[in-house]
């Protein structure tokens, strides 16, 4: 969310099994995590993966499990040829409802928004039409392009982000406690030391990929980026627990501009 970022295997707490997460280097850049499919914890209500059926009508995503609210925080319509980019964020909150309320908050000086929000149970909430500029990217630069709000769709993913160990559990910056099974250790693409991060459930990952594929097909999207790539000095989402590079490889052909996104990430 836009608010006040060397190889080896990532670690998971000893109480969790069935997940292997590795880092892959491409050139000089640490591209993040290369995942085998992440398995939701067996006790999680997200442990049964499924494919969503959805389509787009008049710039609105329609389908099972998709809700709509209207954020007052937005610009005008996209210029011709836009949107052409997807920017992925995590909410850094403790519940999807908190994030949606935050993205719809009209308080002056705190107005941010996003087009879509994906919950941990894979439910999708759309906050703005897909032909309207949202305020999700902030100061942003990548490959000579700036001000990503003007040509990108923002997808917020319900995830607490960075976690700190606390005894046998973990805690977020908001003070919310998480079980060891919900944490994964990894090195962020913009950092050199490992830290702990909130795990993304499998159902959520599948919903995000299905949604991204729909947007690519409808709008001719040619670039998928993390907020951490367009604002690397101040942002760390979606973080190393999210299989961003692997998802890009599946969704975008190598010949498409923006495929090897991390190869030229520029500081904002």
User: Which CATH superfamily does the domain covering 21-264 fall into?
Assistant: Peptidoglycan recognition protein-like (3.40.80.10)
> Does residue 164 surpass a pLDDT of 70?
yes
39-64 per-position pLDDT tens digit: 333 333 333 344 678 999 999 999 98
Could you give the percent of the chain with pLDDT greater than 70?
76
Segments making up each domain of the chain, as ranges: 21-264
Helix axes of 244-251 and 202-219: crossing angle, nearest 10 degrees: 40
Model-level pTM?
0.79
Q: Which residues pair with 67 in a beta bridge?
A: 125
The secondary structure element, H or E, covering residue 225 is: strand 223-226
Strands (E), 27-173: 29-35, 54-57, 60-63, 66-68, 74-77, 85-90, 116-118, 124-126, 132-134, 141-142, 145-146, 152-157, 162-166, 169-171
> Does residue 72 surpass a pLDDT of 50?
yes
Instruction: State the burial class of residue 255 (Cβ atoms within 10 Å of its Cβ: 0-12, 13-18, 19+).
Output: exposed
Mean pLDDT across the chain, nearest whole number?
82
Beta strands 85-90 and 223-226 are parallel
């Amino acid at each position: 969310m836009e608010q006040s970022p060397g190889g080896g295997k990532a670690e998971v707490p000893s109480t969790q099994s069935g997940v292997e997460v590795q880092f892959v280097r491409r050139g000089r850049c640490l591209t993040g995590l290369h995942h085998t499919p992440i398995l939701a914890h067996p006790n999680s209500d997200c442990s049964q993966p499924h494919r969503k059926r959805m389509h787009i009508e008049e710039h609105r995503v329609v389908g099972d499990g998709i809700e709509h609210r209207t954020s007052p925080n937005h610009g005008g319509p996209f210029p011709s040829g836009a949107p052409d980019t997807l920017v992925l964020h995590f909410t850094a909150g403790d519940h999807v409802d908190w994030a949606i309320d935050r993205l719809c908050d009209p308080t002056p000086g705190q107005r941010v928004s996003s087009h879509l929000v994906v919950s941990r149970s894979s439910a999708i909430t759309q906050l703005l039409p897909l032909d309207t500029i949202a305020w999700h990217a902030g100061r942003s630069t990548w490959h000579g392009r700036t001000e990503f709000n003007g040509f990108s769709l923002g997808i917020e993913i319900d995830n607490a982000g960075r976690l700190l160990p606390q005894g046998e559990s973990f805690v977020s910056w908001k003070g919310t406690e998480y079980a060891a099974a919900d944490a994964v250790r990894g090195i962020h693409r913009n950092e050199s030391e490992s830290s702990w991060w909130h795990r993304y459930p499998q159902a959520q990952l599948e919903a995000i990929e299905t949604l991204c594929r729909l947007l690519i097909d409808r709008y001719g999207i040619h670039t998928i980026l993390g907020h951490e790539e367009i604002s690397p000095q101040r942002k760390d989402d979606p973080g190393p627990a999210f299989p961003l590079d692997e998802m890009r490889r599946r969704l975008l052909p190598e010949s498409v501009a923006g495929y090897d996104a991390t190869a030229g990430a520029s500081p904002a």
